[in-house]
Amino acid sequence: MRLQNKIAVITGGAAGIGLATAERFAKEGAKLVLWDVSDKGNEVAQRLRKEGHDAIFKKINVTDQDEVQTAVGEARDHFGRIDVLINNAGITRDRTLLKMSKNEWDDVIGVNLSGVFYCTQAVAPIMKEQNYGRIVSASSNVAIRGNFGQTNYVATKSAIIGMTKVWAMELGRYGITVNCIAPGFIHTAMTDAMPEEVRKQSIPHIPLGKWGYPEDIANGYLYLASDEASFVSGICLTIDGGAARP
């Protein structure tokens, strides 16, 4: 198994892509630390344990730096180390530039950008001490092509790509790889809430002619978290059916 006995922290692990990633990692032998603001994470961890996997859940808000630091310490105390960090938690608060409120801006920046910074900064010293680590964060293909009505979201996802490159430079000497994934349209509860007409209009712009599924992104996370990607660092892997374009 590709993640045998690896300790993996997954943010936003209670649903959607995070849930698919937890299930995929568990099948590959990982021991899981699931973080989410939703109590559904408890059900996920319990189900995984019933299936014979090692998984724990903690309800935390990644925008709270103190909560993150505490959760990282508890995860290390429980498992003894942290090998993989999947910065997957994310939200949208879509609005055009002229209508976007300060709260809509701050909320998205807090979860999608500051949360990634807090989690990575808290986990990196443990990985440095181990001289081993895999950090993978969620960007988006809109970071590459832009998207109407998503000033806040695109700002965070573009920043993720930049931070990934910086951290790959800073942490590589400690045996830590840092990468990100840029999903396109993926079937999740968040995207299913989009108007049907908007979803239909997206299809002609996807060369493969369809949306992806959470498992497609989970497979990308798995590769970058595995030792198969031991010489891969500082990249953004686009998984969007060919839709991304500069």
Residues marked active site are found at 153
Percentages helix, strand, coil for the chain (3-state, rounded to 5) are 50, 15, 35
Residue 101 amino acid letter: S
Question: Phi and psi of 187, rounded to 5°?
Answer: -70, 105
> Nearest to residue 194, comparing CAs of 185, 184, 205?
185
Give the dihedral of Cα atoms 35, 19, 111, 114; nearest 10 deg: 70
Q: Could you give the count of Cα atoms lying within 13 Å of 65 in the half-sphere of its Cβ? A: 6
Kindly calculate the radius of gyration of the chain based on its CA atoms and give it in whole angstroms. Answer: 17
Write the DSSP string, 76-102: HHHHS---EEEE-------B-TTT--H
Question: Residue 135: enclosing H or E segment and its boundaries?
Answer: strand 133-138
Give just the sign of the alpha carbon dihedral 223, 225, 227, 230.
positive
Residue 150 is given by DSSP the state B
Give the neighbor-by-neighbor strand order of the sheet with 55-59.
55-59, 31-36, 7-11, 84-87, 133-138, 176-183, 236-239
